[in-house]
Amino acid sequence: MPATIRNARHEDIPALAALLAQLFAIETDFTIDVERHRRGLALMIDGCGKHRCVKAAEAEGGVVGMGTAQLLISTAEGGPVALVEDIIVDPPWRGQGIGRQLVDALEAWAWTHGATRLQLLADRTNFSALDFYDHIGWRPTRLICLRRKQTAGSRSRCTKG
């Protein structure tokens, strides 16, 4: 195996944030903000491991890839599903099976934690990623992703109702 897949640690955050910058450079819906990415990674790594997971691919003493997953509750499935995100392998290390190793590790984590389905979002113009996911058995759905970002006027309070 060209890489070892392991749980990410705090000391990996600079390398993981650099990988996220590579990923977000090709995803037009996101902007690169390394400090924000570091905060998000710290929140993920600080979790208990029961609901979120960050995997790092290590080779030749450095982090060369990463992937994350989080559990959500699906009313359609009647239980947990895993949202897979941030799959990225540094370009010199691509084509060696590391992406597949990362996805396999995230899948194993998700199944172990009761997930009944895995889902992910991919940029529709990231053809190499779409080809990769197709090659390893992921299939598109008829769903589309919509989002709404918080603005100063959109803050609301959660009330029981």
Q: Is residue 44 part of a domain?
A: yes
Higher pLDDT, 88 or 160: 88
Mean pLDDT on 1-10? 92
Q: Is residue 147 part of a domain?
A: no
The conformation of residue 96, written as its DSSP 8-state character, comes to S
Q: Is residue 148 part of a domain?
A: no
Looking at residue 150, its pLDDT comes to: 85
The pLDDT-based confidence of 159 (bands split at 50, 70, 90) is low
Looking at residue 80, its pLDDT comes to: 97
Q: Is the pLDDT of residue 161 over 80?
A: no
Cα separation, 48 vs 96, whole angstroms: 31
Q: Which residue has the tokens 């979120």?
A: 52
Looking at residue 49, its pLDDT comes to: 77
pLDDT tens-digit readout, 50-106: 899 999 999 999 999 999 999 999 999 999 999 999 999 999 999 999 999 999 999
Cα separation, 157 vs 86, whole angstroms: 30
Q: Tell me how many domains the chain contains.
A: 1
Q: Is residue 49 part of a domain?
A: yes
Q: Is residue 115 part of a domain?
A: yes
Write the CATH number for 19: 3.40.630.30
- Residue 55's CB: how many other CB atoms inside 10 A? 23
Q: Is residue 45 part of a domain?
A: yes
Q: Is residue 58 part of a domain?
A: yes
Mean pLDDT on 28-38? 90
Containing domain of residue 22, as a range?
4-137
Where b means 16+ CB within 10 Å and e means fewer, 75-87 reads eeeeebbbbbbbb
Looking at residue 157, its pLDDT comes to: 58
